[in-house]
Amino acid sequence: MTITQAEENYLKAIFKISEKSDKPALTNAISAVMQTTAASVTDMLKRLAEKDLISYEKYKGVQLTEEGNRLATALIRKHRLWEVFLTEKLGFAWDEVHELAEQLEHVQGNDLVGRLDAFLGHPKFDPHGDPIPDADGRWAYRKQSPLATLQAGDHGVVTGVEDHSSAFLQYLDQLGLGLGAGIELIERFPYDQSVRIRTSDNREMVLSEKVSQNLYIKTG
């Protein structure tokens, strides 16, 4: 059974929606992620159900089957490994790699993924701090919390982002708050929930609530 690139992209979209909630992924949610119409989604859901990659009940949304989940996980693994390659080996910035990885993840054959993984030294996280599942689909877990949930006096290290947009990533670069940056929360202003932090290189800055919600910190 062959799986097309379009089908792979839908599987990934369904996976991402399902991560956030246990409820079935709805047509409209999928169409939003895929940037298509609801009608196109319904079309594709029928195909995916036919291939037993999702379980689909009309008007009730969909869930990945075991096989669908396996495929989606493999895709995310490929995507994130290529992102590591693009940043670590080719020198791309973390806000430039998504589009390219989106294409590279569909390349298949032989033991490409395994060899790439080995070449990169079996990385556990991608350039945005997202975990890379291993060959058996197991995810590395790392305790991290949004900066927004820390208390004054807490110390930690930037380990990930919620928002993956170029705008946000470039802003973080500008602030010197890439992955691995050390920070301490000095105070939170009740008025707008903005926070004052100190970086490990002793700079102080104020971050909006929006930034603090999209920035993950490993404390301790």
Partner DNA sequence: AAATATTTTTAGGTTTGTCTAAAAATATTT
Partner DNA sequence: AAATATTTTTAGACAAACCTAAAAATATTT
Residue 193 binding its own copies, by CB under 8 A: no
Question: What Å distances lie between residue 67 and 27, 50, 88, 180, CA to CA?
Answer: 20, 13, 31, 35
Q: Residues 99, 141, 151, 220: which binds its own copies (CB under 8 A)?
A: 99
Residues 24-43, one symbol each (x = binds DNA by CB under 7 A, - = not), give: --xxxx----xxxxxxxxxx
Q: Residues 1, 19, 22, 58: which binds DNA (CB under 7 A)?
A: 58
Which uninterrupted H or E stretch holds 40? helix 38-50
Q: Residues 3, 16, 55, 92: which binds its own copies (CB under 8 A)?
A: 92
Q: Residues 3, 26, 49, 100: which binds its own copies (CB under 8 A)?
A: 100
Q: For the CB of residue 34, give the shortest distance to DNA in the complex, in Å.
A: 7
Q: What is the 3-state secondary structure (H, E, C) of 140-208?
A: CCCCCEEHHHCCCCCEEEEEEECCCCHHHHHHHHHHCCCCCCEEEEEEEECCCCEEEEEECCCCEEEEC
Residue 96 binding DNA, by CB under 7 A: no
Count other C-beta atoms under 10 Å from residue 77's C-beta. Answer: 22
Q: Residues 112, 135, 152, 206: which binds its own copies (CB under 8 A)?
A: 112
Residue 144 binding DNA, by CB under 7 A: no
Q: Please give the residue ranges that form the binding site for DNA (CB under 7 A).
A: 4-7, 10, 26-29, 34-47, 56, 58-59, 61
